[in-house]
């Protein structure tokens, strides 16, 4: 009973500290410990938080870890693993929702800033197509494939179909490099030219291809790449 009372007092103090100070002065262990209160109502979560950080190496890696990997850590149930996994997904959802408040994207920088949140916390390469009308008003931003933009799973036809179905006149392609820098590869450039040619054939303009990595991005157009240059044989 005394031990339970100590844990209760500790939980209340940590919650109150968060409500008055925020997380800025919390350690990674304390932040995880606080989060786990809501999945593990009775048990001391401090040792579990330490185990998670020791297993994955950092707070960000804990929150990006697959549910099945999280459950390998002692004390982490399916319920706890789901809560931890939810944090990154919900953070991305929040950031995308904030970016969608902007309706008109009249510059390439505005397009880049709009697209970056879609890749927050993603550990796999994903491709999105931002579709706009003739006045640069956002129609939608659709995921068009998972994997490298050059992979067989990314269909040029599906990209063209999304552009036509949304009646877009201008589109921006975007994909991420989860484990590298935001610099387009030779293959990225060649694939982009193929996509640009296919879109041009149906009178849709590919304005740019944005490459995202770790919250930063590179615009191919601003970097000097041209999509109307014929591909090398």
6 has pLDDT over 60 = no
- Predicted confidence at residue 8, as pLDDT, reads 66
Mean pLDDT of 158-183: 92
185 has pLDDT over 90 = no
What does DSSP say about strands 205-213 and 170-176: parallel, antiparallel, or unpaired?
A: parallel
| CA dist., res. 222 & res. 70, Å (int) | 41
| CA dist., res. 180 & res. 104, Å (int) | 30
3 or 160, which is more confident?
Answer: 160
Mean pLDDT of 119-143: 94
Residues 140, 141, 144, 150, Cα dihedral to 10°? 130
2 has pLDDT over 60 = no
Q: For residue 37, how many C-alpha atoms fall within 13 Å in the half-sphere facing its CB? A: 16
- Predicted confidence at residue 232, as pLDDT, reads 41
Q: Is 128 helix (H, G, I), strand (E, B) or coil?
A: strand
81 has pLDDT over 90 = yes
- Other C-beta atoms closer than 10 Å to the C-beta of 45 total 26
- Predicted confidence at residue 168, as pLDDT, reads 97
Kind and range of the H or E run holding 92: helix 78-99
What pTM was estimated for this model as a whole? 0.80
| CA dist., res. 173 & res. 196, Å (int) | 10
- Predicted confidence at residue 1, as pLDDT, reads 45
């Amino acid at each position: 009973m005394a031990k339970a009372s100590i844990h209760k007092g500790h939980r209340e103090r940590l919650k109150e500290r968060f409500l008055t100070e925020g997380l800025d002065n919390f350690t990674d262990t304390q932040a995880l410990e606080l989060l786990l209160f809501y999945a593990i109502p009775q048990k001391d979560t401090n040792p579990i938080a330490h185990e998670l950080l020791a297993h994955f190496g950092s707070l960000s890696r804990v929150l990006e870890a697959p549910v099945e990997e999280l459950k390998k850590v002692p004390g982490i149930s399916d319920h706890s693993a789901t809560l931890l996994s939810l944090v990154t997904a919900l953070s991305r959802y929040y950031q995308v929702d904030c970016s969608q408040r902007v309706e008109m994207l009249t510059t390439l920088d505005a397009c880049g800033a709009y697209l970056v949140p879609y890749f927050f916390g993603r550990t796999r390469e994903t491709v999105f197509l931002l579709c706009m009308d003739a006045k640069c008003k956002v129609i939608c931003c659709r995921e068009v494939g998972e994997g490298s933009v050059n992979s067989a799973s990314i269909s040029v036809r599906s990209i063209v179909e999304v552009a036509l179905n949304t009646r877009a006149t201008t589109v921006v392609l975007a994909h991420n490099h989860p484990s590298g820098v935001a610099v387009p590869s030779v293959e990225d450039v060649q694939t982009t030219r193929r996509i640009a040619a296919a879109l041009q054939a149906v009178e849709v303009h590919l304005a740019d291809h944005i490459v995202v990595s770790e919250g930063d991005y590179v615009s191919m157009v601003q970097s000097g790449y041209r999509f109307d240059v014929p591909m090398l044989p």
